[in-house]
Amino acid sequence: MTVKMIAVDMDGTFLNSQQDYDRKSFNQLYKQMKQQNVRFVVASGNQYYQLKSFFPEIAEELSFVAENGAYVVSEGKEIFTGEIDSSTIHEVLTILADFKEGHTILCGKNSAYVAESEPDSFVEHGKKYYHRLKKVPNLFEVKDDTLFKFALSFPVEQVGEVLDQLHQALGDKVTPVSSGHGDVDLIIPGIHKAHGLLQLQELWGIKKHEVAAFGDSGNDLEMLKHAEYSYAMRNGQPKVKVAAKEIILSNDENGVLVKIAELLGN
């Protein structure tokens, strides 16, 4: 088997419960990837600026499918940027106002935005995933940015029910996907992690049968179905385990790095 691209989700997959990874092991594997001309791609629902921070020495060499595919950057160059038009943004914000226990971050290319009325605890939670997060009087007034995603947070036990309600309320305007914990992303229909990987495959001439992908949540499903070699974490959601070809060790057992070593022939 020849793998030329390895795509990893971050939270719950590449990162352990402490929001970190075995940097020494990864650095050794990354050197091998470069020697074997294997591309390493970070594919996450999180913000580009947050994702870069995990790889300070090599961020400019890597490719990022950020914001669930809405923003794709390779070696510091923008490859793809999605956009939700302003009338849809307003319509979705109006619908979200009816979800009393939900909290909303509006995600754009330059920054993410949160309403001043949101509790401090939610804003602090948001800053973990969105290193550029601005408080604004209200989200209806956000302008001068390309907006491409809503990041929502709900009590964990409500997520299943909320996803159903959002599907019904939003129709085909945006697609709700679970991204783990109590988080739900509203993404542009058809713009997901697999779409982002395709942009990079075209850039590099990499075929589907040369792609390996790792994930744990609902927003990884398209990517896992797309990749020839697909791996779900032992700690992953049940539907993700069904979609993947193999279930591997959990994110707290270095599951991704163990499997990458195997893929590289170690």
Backbone angles phi, psi at 230, to 5 degrees: -120, 135
How far apart CA 20 and CA 67 sit, in angstroms, is 19
Angstrom distance (rounded) from CA 154 to CA 87: 25
Report how far residue 23's alpha carbon sits from residue 228's, in angstroms, rounded to the nearest whole number.
27
Strand 229-233 to strand 175-178: parallel, antiparallel, or no bridges (unpaired)?
unpaired
Taking alpha carbons only, the member of 174, 147, 177 closest to residue 163 is 177
> What's the rounded Cα separation, in Å, for the pair 20 and 153?
22
153: region left, alpha or beta (phi > 0 left; psi from -120 to 50 alpha)? beta
H or E segment and range at residue 90: helix 86-96
Tokens 């669930």 locate to 68
Q: Which among 175, 254, 153 has a CA at the least distance from the CA of 219?
A: 175
Please say if 144 is a catalytic residue. no
Residue 137, classed as helix, strand or coil, is coil
In 3-state terms, what secondary structure has residue 99?
A: coil
Angle, vertex CA 230, rays to CA 33 and CA 207, nearest 5: 65
Task: Determine how β-strand 211-215 pairs with β-strand 5-8.
Answer: parallel
Gyration radius of the chain's alpha carbons:
18
Residues belonging to the active site: 9
